[in-house]
A and B are shown apart, each in its own frame.
Chain A
Amino acid sequence: MPTSPEAILERSDSLRREIGGDFRDRMVGALYESAQQVASRSVRETGKRKWDFDQRVDRLVTSRSLGLPIMLLLLALVFWITILGANVPSQMLANALFTVEAAAAGWFDSLGVPLWITGLLWHGMFRGLAWVVSVMLPPMAIFFPVFTILEDLGYLPRVAFNLDWLFRRAGAHGKQALTMAMGFGCNAAGVTSTRIIDSPRERLLAILTNNFVPCNGRFPTLIMLAVIFVAASFPPAVASVAAAGAVVCVVVLGIGFTLAVSWALSRSVLSGEASAFTLELPPYRRPSVLRILYTSLIDRTVFVLGRAMLTAAPAGAVIWILANVTYGERSLASLAIGWLDPLGAAIGLDGVILLAYVIAIPANEIVVPTMLMCYLGGSMMIDVATYDEIRVVLIDQHGWTLLTAVNLMLFSLLHNPCATTILTIWKETRSPRWTTLGALMPLAFAFATCFATAQAVRLLP
Chain B
Amino acid sequence: MTVWGILLAAILTAAILFVPKAGLLALWNRFRSHRDRTRSEDALKHILAWRQRSGPASLESLAGSLRLSPSTVLHLATRLETAGWIQCGAAGIELTPAGERRALQVVRAHRLWERHLADDANMPIGRLHQAAERAEHSLTVSQVARLDAHLGHPQHDPHGDPIPSADGRVASLNAVCLNDWPVDMPGRIAHIEDEPDAVFRRILAAGLRPSQVVRVVEAHDASLRMQVEDAECVIDRALAINIHVSSARRDDLYPADAARLSDMRQGDSGEIIGMGPECTGFSRRRLLDLGLTPGASVQVVLDNTFGDPRAFRVRGTTIALRREQAEHVWVRPRESAARMEVSR
Residues of A within 8 A of B (CB): 13, 16-17, 21, 24-25, 28-29, 32-33, 54-55, 58-59, 62-64, 67-68, 161-162, 164-165, 168, 174, 201, 271-283
Neighbour of B121 across the interface among A54, A63, A201, CB < 8 A: A201
A-side contacts of B302, CB under 8 Å:
55, 58-59, 62, 161, 281
Q: B155 interface residue, CB < 8 Å from A? A: yes
Q: B4 interface residue, CB < 8 Å from A? A: no
B286 in contact with A276 (CB, 8 Å):
yes
Nearest opposing residue in chain B for A29, CB measure = B293
Q: B109 interface residue, CB < 8 Å from A? A: no
B-side contacts of A16, CB under 8 Å:
153, 155
A17 in contact with B171 (CB, 8 Å):
yes
A28 in contact with B288 (CB, 8 Å):
yes
Neighbour of B322 across the interface among A13, A63, A168, CB < 8 A: A168
A-side contacts of B301, CB under 8 Å:
55, 58
Nearest Cβ in chain B — how far from A438, in angstroms?
20
A278 in contact with B288 (CB, 8 Å):
no
Known contacts A67-B305, A161-B304: does B321 contact A277 (CB below 8 Å)? yes
Nearest Cβ in chain B — how far from A32, in angstroms?
5
Within 8 A of A (CB), among B88-129: 116-117, 120-123
State A281–B171 Cα separation when bound (angstroms): 45
State A135–B161 Cα separation when bound (angstroms): 61
Q: B289 interface residue, CB < 8 Å from A? A: yes
Q: B35 interface residue, CB < 8 Å from A? A: no
What are 8 A-B pairs at a CB distance below 8 A?
Answer: A16-B155, A24-B284, A24-B285, A67-B305, A271-B123, A274-B122, A275-B122, A280-B319
Q: B294 interface residue, CB < 8 Å from A? A: yes
A-side contacts of B283, CB under 8 Å:
275-277
Inter-chain contact total with CB atoms closer than 8 Å: 114
A-side contacts of B308, CB under 8 Å:
164-165, 168
A-side contacts of B82, CB under 8 Å:
none
State A273–B289 Cα separation when bound (angstroms): 20
A-side contacts of B296, CB under 8 Å:
32
State A16–B296 Cα separation when bound (angstroms): 28
Nearest opposing residue in chain A for B309, CB measure = A164
B-side contacts of A201, CB under 8 Å:
121
A-side contacts of B305, CB under 8 Å:
62-64, 67-68, 162
Nearest opposing residue in chain B for A160, CB measure = B320
B-side contacts of A32, CB under 8 Å:
291, 293, 296, 315
Q: B5 interface residue, CB < 8 Å from A? A: no
Question: Interface residue tally of chain B, by bracket?
Answer: 35 or more
4 nearest CB pairs, A to B = A165-B306, A274-B120, A279-B320, A281-B318
A-side contacts of B55, CB under 8 Å:
none
Q: B131 interface residue, CB < 8 Å from A? A: yes
Q: B50 interface residue, CB < 8 Å from A? A: no
A279 in contact with B123 (CB, 8 Å):
no
Within 8 A of A (CB), among B152-180: 153, 155, 165, 171
Known contacts A274-B120, A275-B282: does B293 contact A161 (CB below 8 Å)? no
Given contacts A28-B289, A275-B122, 13 further A-B contacts (CB under 8 A): A24-B285, A58-B301, A62-B304, A64-B305, A162-B305, A164-B304, A165-B304, A271-B121, A274-B122, A277-B321, A279-B319, A280-B319, A281-B302
B-side contacts of A164, CB under 8 Å:
304, 306, 308-309, 320, 322
B311 in contact with A278 (CB, 8 Å):
no
A-side contacts of B196, CB under 8 Å:
none
Q: B275 interface residue, CB < 8 Å from A? A: yes
Q: B58 interface residue, CB < 8 Å from A? A: no
A174 in contact with B295 (CB, 8 Å):
no
B286 in contact with A280 (CB, 8 Å):
no
Q: B317 interface residue, CB < 8 Å from A? A: yes
B309 in contact with A277 (CB, 8 Å):
yes
B288 in contact with A161 (CB, 8 Å):
no
B-side contacts of A279, CB under 8 Å:
309, 319-320
Nearest Cβ in chain B — how far from A60, in angstroms?
11
B322 in contact with A277 (CB, 8 Å):
yes
State A283–B288 Cα separation when bound (angstroms): 21
Neighbour of B309 across the interface among A25, A58, A174, CB < 8 A: A174
Neighbour of A17 across the interface among B155, B290, B311, B325, CB < 8 A: B155
B-side contacts of A281, CB under 8 Å:
302, 311, 318-320
State A360–B295 Cα separation when bound (angstroms): 59
Nearest Cβ in chain A — how far from B131, in angstroms?
7
A-side contacts of B320, CB under 8 Å:
161, 164, 279-281
State A259–B296 Cα separation when bound (angstroms): 37
B-side contacts of A161, CB under 8 Å:
302, 304, 309, 311, 320
B-side contacts of A271, CB under 8 Å:
121, 123, 131
Within 8 A of A (CB), among B315-336: 315, 317-322, 325
State A54–B165 Cα separation when bound (angstroms): 53
A-side contacts of B311, CB under 8 Å:
58, 161, 281
Nearest Cβ in chain B — how far from A100, in angstroms?
48
A-side contacts of B274, CB under 8 Å:
25
Q: Which of A62, A162, A273, A276 has the most chain B CB atoms closer than 10 A to its own CB?
A: A276
